[in-house]
Amino acid sequence: MNNPSLQNRIIDRLLELIKEDKLEPGDKLPSELTLARKFRVSRSSIREAISQLQSRGILEVRPRSGSYVRAITDDPVGPPLQQMLSFDHNKMWELLEVRKHLEAAAAELSAIRRTGTDMEEFREVLRFLDEAHRNNRFDEDVEKAYGRFFKNLSSSSGNTLFTHLMDSIGDLSRSALPFSRVKLQHLPHTKDVILDQLHRIAGAIKSRDAEAARTAVIEHIEFVEKSLRDVLGYKDLNVLAREEF
């Protein structure tokens, strides 16, 4: 396989599979054929991605047996930030600032490097969110779809290390102070605006307009921050975190 961007995305998908399926060292991965069908790529692409993970000490390939998990990568970013947030919830504003700049840069790269598969993922997520919006739904599945949108944004950037860093920060910002997302829904038209912003981000990436994609992401994160500050009344988040919502 001579497409580094595709190879990086397959590696990311394999790492996500290990994490999501909670595979432990010694557990066996699905066969190359199964993975190729699941990811819609060739078996040779899967084989090369597995080889890369083997060289990094994450997988072990046993002849005539299959691929096994050898080590589970630790997240070097999440735990220290989680500890920091547990002591000072107001660090969430700084976290949003970091997320804004990282995801804006990812949007630029995505607009340049995205594939048809990436765009189909964006379309699938937005179809789900559109239907949920029409039915006035806001539940755990909707929240997961929002996270899935930005995970696809990071993976379509084509930079593996960048993707892991963004995913760590994105997951952390979305898990911090869960009550804030519930309160955000009480602001008039907030859901309408956010959904429109996601469509604009995906539209700019589809058009390969890197500057428009970057701008759309910045506007989205700044809108979320302003809305959170409005609904929370600029109160001390350390106090709010102890209240009942």
Residue 54 inside a domain? The answer is: yes
Helix (H) / strand (E) containing 109:
helix 91-113
Does one domain contain both 95 and 45? no
Domain span at 22: 4-69
Cα–Cα distance, 123 to 139 (Å, whole number): 20
Per-residue pLDDT for the chain (245 aa), expressed as one digit of tens each?
Answer: 456 667 778 888 898 888 777 787 788 999 999 999 999 999 999 998 898 888 667 888 888 889 998 855 555 555 555 555 555 667 778 888 888 999 999 999 999 999 998 999 999 999 999 999 899 887 778 878 888 899 889 889 888 777 777 777 766 666 555 545 556 666 768 889 999 999 999 999 999 999 999 999 999 999 988 888 887 765 555 544 444 33
- Helix axis angle, 43-55 relative to 32-39, nearest 10°? 110
pTM for the full predicted model: 0.64
Does one domain contain both 94 and 194? yes
CATH for 217: 1.20.120.530
**Sign of the torsion formed by the C-alpha atoms of 201, 204, 206 and 208:** negative
CATH for 43: 1.10.10.10
> Cα separations (Å) of 37 from 31, 44, 45, 68?
10, 12, 11, 19
